[in-house]
Amino acid sequence: MRITGSTRRRFLTRALMVAGATAVGLLQAPISLGREVGAHLARIKGRIIMRMDPDYPQWWSSMSWYMYMPKRYPDLIVRAKSEQDILSALAYAREKKLKVTVRSGGHNPAKAVLRDGGMLLDLSRLRKVEIDAAAQTAWVEPGIHGEKLVAALAKQGLDFPAAHTGIVPIGGYIMGGGLGWNMPERDIACRSILAAEVITADGRKLTASANENSDLWWAIRGCGPGFFGVVMRYKLQVYPLYHAMTKSKYLFAIDKLPQVCKALEKVAAAKKEQLEVLAVVGRFYPPDKPPAERDLVCAVSIFAFANSEKEASALMAPWASSGLPAQSLMKRENRIMDYEQLFSGQETDFSSPNRTAVENIWTDDVSKGLQALAKKMLDDPPPSPRCFALSAWGFSNTREDATSCVSTPAPHYLSWYLMAEDESHLALNRRWMDESVELLRPVTRGHYINEIDPQHYPQHVAECFSPESWKRLAKLRKQHDPDGVFYSWLGHGDQKS
């Protein structure tokens, strides 16, 4: 299903309708904040939403993509328009001893931007991009959507590994690592951060890079929503644009999943870096029926990042020669596409607001993990027919990198997403997720910080990093934010997390 402008509006419309029943509770804010807003926040040109404001419920619900929101309410929301707004907001937070969480777009499925009390500093309006085509670099503000960034770059023959969902903003995505287009070749996106402009907890503006404040640079490259500062801009390495990006997609009956996985194991071992291989288990067939009337199938998508049809064909050869394409229920092969086309047509994106439980693993046995989830989906179907599991084969070619805190400890990635059609599904999804996390523990080698649920599985946060990186991050937090101005990761270290 195409993600159109009207679909984007539905994301916000759904969010704006969530809070009506709880509006009275939302408006019970500390009186002192309301009385002193004029004196302390007058320099801010952006919008300030206090908890006692009549429109607080609507703004609160728009801070996250999701329909089912946690009962966590910041004392105020500051929608910054400039660097000065950020500095003034942090000065106010320090004076009032308010903890701060920072938002770029609200896509994080743990809803980490919503904390109980404190300040939510919203950077989503900061969307400028400055491209240096000759140097193949770009300065990018955190609120720019991935599809807008790659469109601007494409006009100059350039590219960046943005998120597979086009309306995900760059800030939270890249700071948490960034599993993007053509990751097997371009690496996890945070390792393309060459520098960053940072406002620290004490209000200083610093540049972080390999040669300047390199400890902050190391932390920015992958630490996710537990960062102890505000990043206003990122300097990104950008890359030549491929002119024949080619996609083939196949649907297979679920009883063929063992054969599909066996073939994908061979493809992952033989393929070149410019080939991206995704396999998704969900209720996708036949596509012209409602999800509840569809069969569970495996959808395999093969992306070749090439500059000619001949080059794309050579990249896809390990899959094409496997014999599997002829056994598919449906297929669409060898379509040369631009990013606008790649971003559209993803039904799993359309269901994003309904996500209530999300988890992931890095694994060296993605075949076993995907088949275990598929069996559970057959034997014990989750309540929503729109739930699915996604696997990326041979997705990461770099285990550790000394210049970034992020860890990708195995070559394959597996994530699964549980939807809710109504509130009665929430508890059922939690039970299903607990069981599936335990089921996959034998093949789990680590996690990806942007798609975990740290409130229910706080131990997974540390498992997104190597033990050494986890200890170093704790030391840097004490060094750069000794008074605890910024919230840590959800579920870690803060009484009001």
Q: Report the pLDDT value the prediction gives residue 279, as an integer from 0 to 100.
A: 98
Taking only the tens place, the pLDDT of each residue in 182-207 is: 999 999 999 999 999 999 999 999 99
> What pLDDT sits at residue 493?
65
Is 476 part of any domain? Answer: no
Please say if the pLDDT value at position 459 is more than 80. Answer: yes
Q: Do 330 and 295 belong to one domain? A: yes
Indicate if 203 and 318 belong to the same structural domain: no
Q: Which of 194, 226, 241 is the last residue of a domain?
A: 241
Q: Is residue 160 part of a domain?
A: yes
Handedness of CA 417, 423, 427, 428 (dihedral sign): negative
Q: Based on the domain organization, do 230 and 256 belong to the same domain?
A: no
pLDDT of residue 457: 97
| Residue where one domain finishes, among candidates 204, 225, 241 | 241
251 with 385, same domain: the answer is yes
Average pLDDT over residues 59-67: 95
Q: Do 225 and 279 fall within a single domain?
A: no
pLDDT digits (tens, 9 = 90+) for 374-428: 999 999 999 999 999 999 999 998 777 999 999 999 999 999 999 999 999 999 9
In a domain, residue 479? The reply is: no
42: containing domain: 11-122
- What gap in Å lies between CA 114 and CA 102, rounded to an integer? 9
**DSSP collapsed to 3 states, 324-348:** CHHHCCEEEEEEECCHHHHHCCCHH
478 assigned to some structural domain: no
**Residue 494 domain flag:** no
pLDDT at 170 exceeding the cut of 70 = yes
In a domain, 467, yes or no: no
Has residue 469 got a pLDDT over 80? yes
Q: What percent of the chain has pLDDT over 90?
A: 87
338-365: pLDDT as tens digits: 999 999 867 777 788 999 999 999 999 9
Q: Is residue 341 part of a domain?
A: yes
Which of 65, 99, 122 is a domain's end point? 122
Residues 205 and 271 in one domain: no
| 61 to 106, 119, 166, 349, 421: CA distances (angstroms) | 10, 15, 21, 19, 18
- What does the pLDDT average to over 260-270? 98
Same domain, 237 and 256: no
| H-helix or E-strand spanning residue 368 | helix 366-379
- Predicted confidence at residue 287, as pLDDT, reads 94
- Domain harbouring 171, CATH code: 3.30.465.10
Average pLDDT, the chain: 91
CATH code assigned at 95: 3.30.43.10
271 shares a domain with 218: no
Domain harbouring 345, CATH code: 3.40.462.20
Q: What is the pLDDT of residue 346?
A: 73
Measured CA to CA, the distance from residue 202 to residue 38 in angstroms comes to 22
Residue 12 has pLDDT above 70, yes or no: no
- Same domain as 279, residue 226: no
pLDDT digits (tens, 9 = 90+) for 88-118: 999 999 999 999 999 999 999 999 999 999 9
Q: How many domains does the chain have?
A: 3
- Tell me whether residue 472 is in a domain: no
